[in-house]
Amino acid sequence: MDIGKVIEFSASDEHRLGVITGSLGKKKLIIKTIDGVEMRTSPKSVSFEVPGKKIDPSVPGEVEKALGKLESALAEAKEMIDLELTWEMVSELGESMSANELADLIFGSDEPAQVLAVMQVLRDDVLYFKSKKEVYEPRPVEIIEQLRSQLEAAQRREQEQRQFLETIAEAQQLPERADRAALIKVRASEDDNLRNKLALLQEYGASDDFFEHKDQANDLLDELNDFPGVKVYGSGSLRAFNLMRELGLWSKHENTWLYRFRINTEVPDHLLEEARALAAKGWEPEPWRKDLTRLLCFSIDDASTLDIDDALSCVPREDGGWDLGVHIADPSAFVKAGSELDLAARQRGTSIYLPIGTLPMFPRELSEEAMSLVAGELRPAMTTLVQIDKDLNVVDVEVFASTICVDHRLTYDSVDEVLERDPATPMEVALHDLAFLTNELFHKRQEDGAVSFDIPEAKIVVTGLEGAETADDDDVEPEVKVELLDNESPARLLVAESMIFASANMAKFCARREIPVIYRGQEAPEDELFDEEVMAMPEGLPRFFAMRRKMKPGNITTHPERHFGLGLDMYVQATSPIRRYSDLICQRQVKAFLTDEELPYSPDEILQIAADVEIATREAIKASRGTDQYWAYYYLGQMKGEVMRGTVLNHRDDRIAFVFLHDVALRVKCMMQKRHEPGDEIDVLIERADPRREMLRVKEN
């Protein structure tokens, strides 16, 4: 191409005008633009050569003058082009046209500026014409409508994206995080696009770097980081977490496990109002309930428990036996199947117990008040009353709806104290009798193959986060207490065995009467549980963990199956209907059977509901465990540089072993100085803990 030639060329995804001022061999042209910039480009990037006389680039101002004149002519020509009218004319002619022919059709001439104007307009607007080998073919009407819809949708997306970026930028400019959060929440309540994008980023911020929509979230974060007024810190999913903190939507110790599993922490206002109305209305005993208000009943829970859903009684018989009663709260007396409150409880599946508090399955006005077996209050219940003779044989089992009034609200600690001394009151006599019976029941299950693991458990309690509900909490440091639960507590064994015994008898009751309920089963391990591998481990924690690894997960079914771990031929969960929806299903079925009403659930419905509830429950368990781990790591982080005692469980290799830290009841991966045998106790140094990154580093001291 000759020096002085006026051209249009592409550079960095845009088209520009210029004049050729020289060349670098055959592969590069030297071009001067209207603003005096000299550029180099390939001859292949030239999209249009303006015919006519050449410009002398050596004359000062000549290039700028010529290109300015051409740009003015182009702008004037573009104003005159009506693409829709042009499309109609060309469509009537029924033929394709070149840019020169279209210019002649539109302007009555094909001056260079007019031809180039046609090319530029058709390049920017592809709605009416299809470009093919330097000619333009009019599109069919249906294709135009389809393209128009696509273009409008793309424009909406672009506008929505711009609004999202501008909203985040506007929020970040506010000095207070609380104000940023308020702005975002107001805008999100009115803008689905903003709400959806925030949800994506929150899911990513709550997840690890294996998040399903990681690429989409990172692209959005990249756009935010490139947008004026927005700054995104960190790397990976921490970028999303940090952005949520910057916007004041999350706190420093935000429980991202709840976001990860989409667990809602809020109860809609209308459901709260309904719960309050039901609680205020109260409950009047139905005439078909058996009145047990004169029966000595007591509940046994942790001191902090407010949703009390079981109570016990134990009355000696004249023949030397006992009547053992397990009385379970009856939520169905307040909440009907299929109601909004019921469907919300079904969706949650279970109450979730966290170090910072409880997320109840039912609103607290019901779960902790009206439904709860509060001492001294009249309450509806479902009772399993088992007659046991002096030789510890089950003589008879009754299941019925009841009215009870709990006499004593006891704690595990207080019951353990009672069981250490001789009984002096009717209540203490009942506790001693119950302890004897449940201990015998426990040993009977063990004889029948039950498997128990004496692995210590910890209860983590976090306080001091009050007032740290927004991201303005950098100076707020919570207090974390780790309490080791006493697995050998007679009171805990008494309660656990009573619930297992009641549930096993409820399973038999339902099976004999063919009442469709959810049964819990567990298959035996593939290999012998106590094989050479397990028995090679020393007794205690290493053997318990080896046994647990061989156990199969439990399963749900609508027909009775053996539960290997519990040593029972059949088993249902029916003792926590305030806390577990699957227990409520069983209770409703039995209650309807006893009152000659139509069963609320068919076998198929039960299976579907059970599957949904099981998924929600598993996710709740994962969220609870993840939250416990976060606060356990936070606690260990506060102990950086300190030493703890641990028991070696097993080795991954010569340098790494799995160790059980006694003070926090936590299994951790530990760097070893030398190889120790399973069961050996060692000193473990806490090097570093980062709960947000789920990272803990410990080594043998």
**One-letter amino acid for residue 509 of the chain:** F
| Sign of torsion over alpha carbons 660, 661, 666, 670 | negative
Of 482, 294, 322, nearest in space to 403 by CA? 294
Average pLDDT score over residue span 578-605: 95
CA dist 128 and 141 (Å) reads 9
Question: In the predicted model, what is the mean pLDDT of the chain?
Answer: 93
Residues 581/341, Cβ–Cβ less than 8 Å: no
Structure-block tokens of residue 448: 């029948």
Residues 570/507, Cβ–Cβ less than 8 Å: yes
Average pLDDT score over residue span 401-418: 96
Query: What CATH number was assigned to the domain covering residues 639-700?
Result: 2.40.50.140
Average pLDDT score over residue span 595-618: 92
**Would you say residue 317 has pLDDT above 90?**
yes
Of 542, 548, 549, nearest in space to 681 by CA? 542
Average pLDDT score over residue span 575-582: 96
Structure-block tokens of residue 378: 């009249």
Tokens 């506010």 correspond to: 174
pLDDT number for residue 208: 77
Of 552, 569, 547, 557, nearest in space to 500 by CA? 569
Helices (H) and strands (E) in the chain, counts: 20, 26
For residue 475, name the pLDDT band (cuts at 50, 70, 90). low
Distance of CA 44 to the CA centre of its chain: 53
Average pLDDT score over residue span 492-504: 96
**Would you say residue 241 has pLDDT above 60?**
yes
* Beta-ladder partners of 11: 14
pLDDT number for residue 467: 55
Tokens 């999209």 correspond to: 47
- All structural domains of the chain with their residue ranges: 6-141, 142-250, 288-617, 639-700
**What is each CA distance from 493 to 105, 441, 487, in whole angstroms?**
95, 10, 8
CA dist 286 and 335 (Å) reads 15
Give me the long-range contacts of 241-246 (CB less than 8 A, separation at least 24).
241/205, 241/206, 241/692, 242/205, 243/168, 243/201, 243/205, 244/201, 244/202, 244/205, 244/471, 245/177, 245/471, 246/172, 246/177, 246/180, 246/471
**What is each CA distance from 127 to 91, 101, 141, in whole angstroms?**
14, 19, 10
List pLDDT tens digits, range 27-74. 899 999 998 889 999 999 999 999 888 899 889 999 999 999 999 999
For residue 469, name the pLDDT band (cuts at 50, 70, 90). low
| DSSP-derived secondary structure for 512-580 | HTT----EEEBPPPSS-TT-HHHHTSPTTHHHHHHHHHHPPPPEEESS---BTTTTBS--B--S-TTTB
Of 52-61, 319-328, 544-553, where does mean pLDDT reach its minimum? 52-61
**Would you say residue 293 has pLDDT above 90?**
yes
pLDDT number for residue 419: 97
Of 281-290, 527-536, 560-569, 624-633, where does mean pLDDT reach its minimum? 527-536
Q: Which helix (H) or strand (E) holds 671?
A: strand 666-671
pLDDT number for residue 2: 86
**Would you say residue 472 has pLDDT above 70?**
no
**What is each CA distance from 234 to 225, 238, 239, 453, 635, in whole angstroms?**
11, 6, 5, 42, 24
Tokens 């696009």 correspond to: 193
Average pLDDT score over residue span 398-406: 97
For residue 473, name the pLDDT band (cuts at 50, 70, 90). low
Average pLDDT score over residue span 689-694: 92
- Residue 331 is given by DSSP the state G
